[in-house]
Structures are given as structure tokens and as C-alpha cells.
A and B are shown apart, each in its own frame.
Chain A
């Protein structure tokens, strides 16, 4: 197990990158503590798989270093980095039995047979596959195959990190949460540093202690699931995380207020910077209804089980509110109230208000 440090990492798939747009991965500088569970979250093509392959050694970065416990491993090939990786599609060796599959990484490293047997039995027990050990791996269901791929990663007790590249993509929905909780449980048992790549916010937020949100090769925010939800550093994070995502409403910034469709809105704190495009960001969860406030016209109310999502128009701007009770009728006129401590101004996408001292 190891602490993983990425220092000034950049990567381009082009031989001679010129501007920042040529980089698939822009300037990344993070430290992941030993034994932590991390998620890389972002839409397809945001560079998260590139980053993962750089950490595992399948790709060599154009610039920067990767350090495992302070030791530079940038130039080392994957098998010498002592990492494990689980891929999107389960990789199993068809001709081998489940047991042989699990033993494969140890056998390749010349571990003695007694230790191999002990480790394989241990891992099989953890994954609940003990009764399958002597069956041919090719006939297994996708979720069991994926379990075996995970098992091959966990079977070595000296791995620095275990990486997951969207491991649940091909798994049936009803088995997804089962495997996800298995993963969480495994993490607690083996205490390995785990890095989980996904575009699914639920997977990322339930698995990780800390989530790295990426967009277009750039890290936009690193934080705990609560931090990402409560105080998005970028409108992208606000929009990508949460269902429905944060309302991003064009506005003008005036000190600690924003003017949105002619209405003044109190912000969490004073805005800084100037110029650029300014938007008011507020999560639907923090838009309430009242007797006074911003007048709005309700266009649609969707019942999504635990709560209602109300779509409304303020002037020419559409926004959403989430409410559990006092549901307005579609077509009615209401007054909206924005929670000041959750109202923020974003300048060119990045947060531009200061958190009010508490």
C-alpha cells in the first residue's frame, strides 16, 4: 500500500503539443493518502482513463512525475509498479479455472505454492466464490467474471494501489449495487489505496472518501461527496453532480448580491474579480416557495418518488426546484426564495463568491 503523488502531470497524445488544447490531461497535482478510496469522476473523454493508465504505467506521461511513497515510478512498467487494475470489461483467462485465474498474478511472480493457495482461498472467501474455484472461468456470468478480475488485483498483498476503470458498466443494474457494496467492504478489509474511475455520480459518491471531478482533461474540484454537493467550485461540478443538477442562471454581480432577471438575490458572501460571464448558481434543493420573493410561472411538476421536481420560468429563464410538500399546480404563479448561504456567483464557470465566515 502506498501514498500516491502526482506531480505536475501533463499528457498529450500528440508528439509535439502546442497549446493547452492539445493536452488530453492538463496540469494535475494531487496527493492521495495510503489506504484511501478515491474516485475520478467525469463525462466520457474527460481524461480520467488517461490519468488511470498513467498511474498504472500503461501510458507514460508527457510531463511530470508519479511518486509512490515518495519514490519516482514514472519510468517503471506496469508489472514493476505493483499495481492492480480492473477494466471496464471483465478480463478473465478463459481456459483457466477460477482458482487458476486468481493464482495467475502470484504464479507469474514465482510465489511458492503454499502461499498461493492460502492467498487464493482468502480472496475467494472474501469474494464469495469459494464454491466456484474449480470451475472453468469462461462460463461465468459477467458479474462473477468481474469479481474474478477484482480478485486477481487483490490477491497480491503487496499492491500499491488497486484501480478500477468503470468496472460496473457491463453489470446488470440489480447486481451493480451488490458489487458496489462488495467493493466498499473489500476496501475496508484490505485497506488498499483504491482509485475508481466512473462517469456515474452515484458510484463515485458512494464508493469514495474523496472525489476528483474532471472535465476536458482538467481537474475542476477535489473534495468529499458532501463538499462537491454543498459548494461546487465550478458550474460543471454543480451541474454534473446532483439530480437534477444545479441551476445556472445568467445574472449580474453587485457586491454581495446578484441581479437575476431584474430581481436581487442575496449571496453567501461578497463576489470577487470582474469581467467575464457571470452566473448565479443555486441547487434546486435550496430553492423554496413563499408568499414573497421572485415571481415565477410553474411549467411542469414531476413526481420522482421521494420528492417533486418543479420546473418554473422566471422571466425568460428556466429553473428547477425540489420540494417534498407544498407542491404548486402547473400553470400557477408562485414566489421563489433562494437560500442566501447556498446562492453563489460563478465567473466564467469558476466560483466567485467568498464563503461567509461562520
Chain B
């Protein structure tokens, strides 16, 4: 019995080798950098956990981390309920289904830097359609290149535009898998529309919703391209999210040690929060 099971390892080996080369080995070089100091010439000096301590204590890192959490929190707060609402209002059968699905999928098909450029042009005051409309037609003082609030609203709206579809499509998949009998039974049981949502639709969407929240958390927590193209982290540092800050340190200042330490901290936080999310959301099933 036991010897038979060992065979499985042979099938895992190729994957293990592949993962080693594209993830583990690069990761170990990062670990290597994170505990050393280099002045070029391939000369390294042992630094221990110094970089980690420096990063964790720095105001700059804490501020970027705070902004990162705020951004992720905001987009989850908007995208998840909005995604559910859109999914609920989509038709379940008929000609409009493919039309809706394609429309929903479109934003996700656009490359991230293109999304950033699009929204940049769209929201520029005077030139951009939205910028012009808000300032010159509605008279709202909006300028994402100058005002932190405008910049924040823009990156949040951009992400909602780009990624709500993902939540919608996942929820929709959950919804269409609910057999008609459930709705019919609810009708006969005299359930209100809220009860139908609370006791039938939401529980059936739970698994896909867990996936949606996890994916959106990870993606938004690691977001780089779109805000970088849109605001470049500005005005000032107001939209400098963790990844943007990391790239500034690593490639702008070429501080490889601190950048490596920061990457590892960043990775650990992402992993930890994902794990907490997953544990919380699947807690009920284990019972």
C-alpha cells in the first residue's frame, strides 16, 4: 500500500523542477541580497537582519504600506458588492447572455499599461474627456495630476472599471449553477427576495466569492503598472503604493539590499493576509 503511493512523487518532480527555476531560485537570490550590502564589483558584505529592521522602522515604508492597505480595502469594498449586484441583475438565459458576458470580459482583456494610459488620457484636465467634463462642464475642481484626492479617486475608479468584471463573472458562474428548483422552492416557501439572496444565492456563491476576494486582494495588493502609468505615484507620494515604492528603491536608487528585504516583507504580508482571508472564509465548511 505504502510503496504504491510513492509513485506520485515522480509525477510531481517536473513541476517541482519548473517551480524551482522560475520561483525558488530567483527567490533565493532575493533572500541572498536581503542580508548583504553591496557596493558593486560583485563584492558583498554581511548585513544580517539590518535591512529588515531599517525597512520596518522607516516612515516611508509604513506610509506606503498604509496606502497599499487603504487602496486594497477601498477596491474590495466597492468591487465585491458591486460585482454581486451586477451578477444578480444579469440575464440568466436568452440572447443577452453572451452580449453581457463579452461586455463584462472586455475590460479584463486590455493590457494593464494600456488601461493606465487610457485612464491617463481620459482624466487629464482640459484634454481628457472626463477631465474636461468635470472641470469645464460641471465646474468641479478635479485634477489628478495636482490633487491627491483626485488622484486617489481616479486610481480607485480605474481599478473598479478594470476588475469588477472578474467578480461579476465569478459570481455569475456561481449563480447560474443554482438549479431552478431552489427558486421554485423558495417561491412556494414564501421567501422574500432578500431571503432568496441571503439563503440561496449568497451561500451558493460563497466558494466563487472566496476565490474572487482572494484574487482581487492579491492582484490589488501587488498592483503596479496601472497606477504607475496613470500617476507615477504622485502627486508627491500620495499614490505611491508599495510596489511603486519598491521599484523606486530597487531600480531608482539601486539599493538592492533594502529592496530585497522589502520584497520579502511585502511577500510575507501578501501571503499572511491571503491565508487569513482564506481561513476566515472557509471556516464554516470545516464544521
Contacts and interface: CB of A to CB of B under 8 A. Distances in A.
Nearest to A110: B190
A83 B190 CA distance: 11
Given A88-B181, A104-B191, A153-B188, 12 more contacts: A79-B190, A85-B188, A87-B185, A93-B199, A93-B200, A93-B203, A94-B203, A96-B199, A104-B189, A104-B199, A108-B190, A149-B185
B195 interface: yes
Contacts of A96: 199
A229 B192 CA distance: 46
Interface string A93-112: 11110000000110011000
A1 B154 CA distance: 62
9 contacts: A56-B184, A79-B189, A88-B181, A89-B181, A94-B204, A105-B190, A108-B189, A109-B190, A153-B188
Q: Is the interface of A mostly helix, strand, loop or mixed?
A: mixed
Contact of B287 (A56, A93, A136): A136
B179 interface: yes
A108 B181 contact: no
Interface in B170-217: 179, 181-182, 184-185, 187-192, 195, 199-200, 203-204
A96 B203 CA distance: 10
Contact of A83 (B188, B191, B203, B287): B188
A337 to B, nearest CB: 51
A78 B287 CA distance: 35
Interface string A17-49: 000000000000000000000000000000000
A108 B195 contact: yes
A77 B195 CA distance: 18
A95 B199 CA distance: 7
B187 A79 contact: yes
Interface string A44-86: 0000000001001010000000000000000001110001110
A58 B184 CA distance: 7
Contacts of A109: 190
Among A84, A89, A104, find the residue whose CB has the most chain B CB atoms closer than 10 A.
Answer: A104
Contacts of A78: 184, 187-188
A103 to B, nearest CB: 10
Contacts of B284: 95
Contacts of A234: none
B188 A79 contact: yes
Contacts of B200: 93
A152 interface: yes
Contacts of A132: none
A84 B186 CA distance: 11
A56 B185 CA distance: 10
Contacts of B199: 93-96, 104
B187 A91 contact: no
Interface residues of B, number: 18
Contacts of B192: 108
Interface in A150-172: 152-153
A84 B187 CA distance: 10
Interface of B: 179, 181-182, 184-185, 187-192, 195, 199-200, 203-204, 284, 287
A153 B188 CA distance: 9
B284 to A, nearest CB: 8
B203 A95 contact: yes
A58 B187 contact: yes
Nearest to A152: B189
B179 A89 contact: yes
A95 B204 CA distance: 10
A91 B190 contact: no
Contact of B181 (A83, A87, A93, A153): A87
A151 B15 CA distance: 51
A91 B181 contact: yes
A58 B185 CA distance: 10
Contacts of B181: 87-89, 91
Contacts of B179: 89, 91
Q: Which of B179, B185, B284, B287 has the most CB of A within 10 A?
A: B185
Contacts of B188: 56, 78-79, 83-85, 105, 153
Nearest to A159: B188
Nearest to B187: A78
Among A77, A105, A109, chain B packs the most CB atoms within 10 A around the CB of: A105
A70 B259 CA distance: 82
Closest 4 CB pairs of A and B: A108-B190, A87-B181, A91-B185, A105-B189
Nearest to A77: B187
A25 to B, nearest CB: 18
Nearest to B189: A105
Contacts of A91: 179, 181-182, 185
A104 B189 CA distance: 7
Nearest to A136: B287
Nearest to B179: A89
A87 B195 contact: no
Given A104-B189, A105-B189, A108-B190, A87 B203 contact: no
A80 B187 CA distance: 10
Nearest to A155: B189
Contacts of B191: 104, 108
Nearest to B200: A93
B208 to A, nearest CB: 14
B179 to A, nearest CB: 6
A85 B203 contact: no
Interface in A282-299: none
A83 B188 CA distance: 7
A206 B3 CA distance: 53
A90 to B, nearest CB: 9
Contacts of A56: 184, 188
Contacts of A94: 199, 203-204
Nearest to A109: B190
